[in-house]
Every structure is written in C-alpha cells, then in structure tokens.
Amino acid sequence: MTETSQLYIDGAFRPARGSKTYPNIAPTSGQVIGQAADGSVEDMNEAIAAARRTFDQSKWATDRELRLHCLTQFREGIFAARERIKQIALDEVGAPGGCIAGPHCDAPLSFLDYPIETLKNYKFERELPIANTMGFPSRRLVWKEAAGVVGAITPWNVPLQINLAKIFPALAAGCTVVLKPAPETPWSAAVLGEVAAKTDMPKGVFNVVTSAEPAVVGETLVTDPRVDMISFTGSTQTGRRIMAMGAETIKKLFLELGGKSAFIVLDDADFAQVIPTSAFFVLYHAGQGCACFTRLLVPRKRHDEAIGMLKAAFEAMPYTDPSSEQQIMGPLISERQRQRVLNYVKIGKEEGATLVTGGGIPADAPKGGFYVQPTLFANVDNRMRIAQEEIFGPVLCVIPHDGDDDAVRIANDSIYGLSGGVASASQERALAVARRIRTGTYAVNGANYFAADTPFGGYKQSGIGREMGLEGFEEYLETKSVAVPA
C-alpha cells in the first residue's frame, strides 16, 4: 500500500502549506508505506476559521433534516469504502486480522446507525409546567443546542473507532468539527475527509488536519477561543495539559484517558475457563487499549495455578500472517512504543516482580515489525509501577488477593477508573463486587459492554464525560432555558 494524504479544510483537499509531508511507517514491517500531509499552525488556523464561519453563518446547527441527509450519505460512503478502510487498519495501525471484525473496522461501522437514529428521535425541545415565581406566571422552554466548534483529538491505537465515535455524534448534534488525528495514523482520518467531500455537507462542517508535530498543532486547537469544545482521547498526562490549556477560554471538555483495569477472579470461578480468557484481554491488539485488563487479581492460594495456565496461553500465542482472521496480537505501533514497553519490563524486574515468560523481542515475528513477546509477571505488588502505570503493551501483572474485600481494595487502589471485570460462579456475588469498583465500565463473567448505545468513559483520572450512547450524543449539546409569559 502506498498512499499520500492531504489536508481536508473547508470542503476541499489540499497539501499542507509548502507541500510538507512526513513518512508513515508500517508497524508490521518498519517500512515507509506512504506520506502524510504535515499540517502547520497556519493550516490549523484555516481549519478552525472554516469551522467557526460555517457554524455561525450556515444552517447546519439548526437544520436537522440537512444533518440527517448528509450523515446518511456519510455513512453510506464509509460503508462503500470498507475494504480500503480495512487495509488502512492493517497497514498503518498494524491491527491484526482478528481485530478487523471488532473495533478496527466492522464494529465502528455498525455503530454509525445509532447517532443517526438519535438525531431522528431526540427531543431537542421540551416544555416545563407553568411556574408562578415572584408573581410572574411563565411558561418555561428547555432547548438543546449544538455546543459549537469541536476540536476532536484522537490517538493511534484504535483510530477509526475513536474518530467515528467523536465526529458522528458531534455532527449529528449540529456542531462543526476539526479532527486532528495522531501522527502515526493519518490515513484513518484522511479517508473520512475523502468520503465527506462527496456528500452534501456544507463546506467547513468537517475538517481534517494531520501533522507530524501533534503537540504544536494540537495546542493551537486547544487554546483557540474560536473553538468551543475539545473532545480528546489519549493519555492522562496529555489530558491534564489539555485541561490546563483549555481553562483560559473555559472550554467544554470531554476527556477519555488512561486505564489500569483490574480483572478480579473470585475463588469460586471456573479457573480452566476464566484464566486463559484473561490472556486474551491483554494480548488483543498487543495490549494497546486503554480498557485492557492489565491487572489480574487471583486468590492467593491459587496464584501458582493461575500462573501455570497463563504461561501456557502466553507462549502459545502465534506470530502468523498479521492479516489472518485468527490472529489477535499484532505489533506495537512504533519503535518508540516498543522501547517504552521494554523499559517497563526492566522496571518490573527491578521492582522484584517475577518475569514468568516474555519480556523481549520475539525472534520468530515478522521481520522488521515492532513486536514484543507476550509478557507475564507473577507475584506483583499493587504498589509497583508496573501495577500502577499504563504500559500500553502485551504485559500482564498477576496480583494475589485474600478474598472479595481485598480484591476490591486492590482494584480501586489506582488513579485510574476506566474499566475492569470480575468472574464468579455466582452472578449475584459478581454484581456485588461490580457495584464497589469505581470505574466507568465493567464486565461481569465475560459479558461485553462495548456497543453503540453503551456510554464509555472513566472515573477519577481516566477522564471526564462519556462517549457513545445517549450520554455521548449529549456531550455535544448545550442547554438553554427560555421563559415566556403564561
């Protein structure tokens, strides 16, 4: 695959100023597979200006039928481009074939109906009963209106899903959008601009700016007073900076940040079924997911039994053709990320955790790819850095617990609160644990919450607000209360 992306600004494609580009690297081979437009601050300013002008001067924010028409076209165009989108996920993300049917292609495409249906059925206006406050009988109207210009900043790990989870609800709500994707995955965003350009969407409604220097261009988007809202998915560290920078203009914020999710196995669980499954949770897409279950909490008396089962599962993970639909673990996104993961392996050993298997670069993986072996640590203390910090790689920390109360205490002992899970022979017992865990999403006995109508987001330093579901749609709305004489 060889492609060259361009910026999509004000309804047209064009190169970055000075025709600047940067190389896009394939995670599976380490080879350059194309060039991406290297947008500048000036390019971003033009995109913001277009989005602002269109929001203020066009009927996009108020004409629901127009939005419905254009978003239906947009959806159809994305489905028509599915094979190309699938190839982009394989090439620039390094997503293995087994993940394409999930969050890297098919799942987010199937989710597109939800914001469209929400737009059809949502009550943007309601009336409250007449109130006689201070002698003035009044009718009260509550209107839901578009938040304004939205800056959407997205990461590289699951780019298509996160791009669509931001832009479709925002556009359906009546906002205009400037999308700034991660530099590692520009085409997953640029292809959406290409599709949008073929719809009847007014110029400036949707804009895409790719850049090799995301901090500089992203800061322009975050600090510009013409931007009303920032919707960001990424690290907690970056989320803190966005909060601080956005404070100057009191921006509306949605933040979906890091996680260090704990999967609790209770003493009555079916170990033969549950323990090997827990390997899947952390090896899927090489652990490059904020909601991956990277801490496994097992009963202390069965710790060694669990380790034996996990060791077999980890060492059986193949490095086959990345495009194979049976493959769920691919490479890391870049050499930089691989070195980050390997550094955490070193930290874990220095902290006294037992490295059971993995921890290095596999000799039998596809040549040149940014692969790391499935890595298993035993006898981990929850105070260790490998148990507290987000590694974003195929690394599992196994922590012993001494019963339900202890497991809950350990799971909650984290700055994060994004996801987690519990396994028990008793659903009532499992649900009792779930109610005590301070996270935004939770899986009981292997059930999957990931769906278009499920709000996703975190407690504590895992973020602010929710994406997807009705709550995700309403993130992009403001509320206006109007009184008229009764």
Parallel/antiparallel/unpaired status of strands 293-299 and 261-265: parallel
Which residue is associated with the tokens 């481009």?
Answer: 81
Residues 6 or more apart in contact with residue 102 via CB below 8 angstroms: none
Cβ pair 183, 214 in contact under 8 A: yes
- Dihedral (C-alpha) 302, 305, 311, 313: value to the nearest 10 degrees? -100
At residue 174, φ and ψ (nearest 5 deg) are 105, 5
At residue 429, φ and ψ (nearest 5 deg) are -65, -40
Cβ pair 223, 246 in contact under 8 A: yes
Which residues on neighbouring strands pair with residue 322, listed in sequence order?
none
Does the annotation count 256 as an active-site position? yes
Comparing CA positions, the residue from 229, 306, 313, 233 lying closest to residue 264 is 306
Residues 45, 420: Cα–Cα separation, whole Å: 40
Read off the amino acid at residue 128. Answer: L
CA distances to 249, 317, 372, 403, 479 from 4, rounded to whole Å, are: 35, 34, 29, 55, 42
Does the annotation count 292 as an active-site position? no
CA distances to 165, 174, 311, 469 from 177, rounded to whole Å, are: 13, 10, 46, 19
Q: State the catalytic residue, choosing from 3, 92, 184, 256.
A: 256
Comparing CA positions, the residue from 285, 364, 385 lying closest to residue 329 is 285
Residues 6 or more apart in contact with residue 156 via CB below 8 angstroms: 93, 181, 182, 183, 184, 185, 333
Q: State the catalytic residue, choosing from 70, 99, 290, 292.
A: 290
Residues 279, 82: Cα–Cα separation, whole Å: 30
Q: Which two tokens mark 387? A: 């148990």
Active site (catalytic) residues: 256, 290
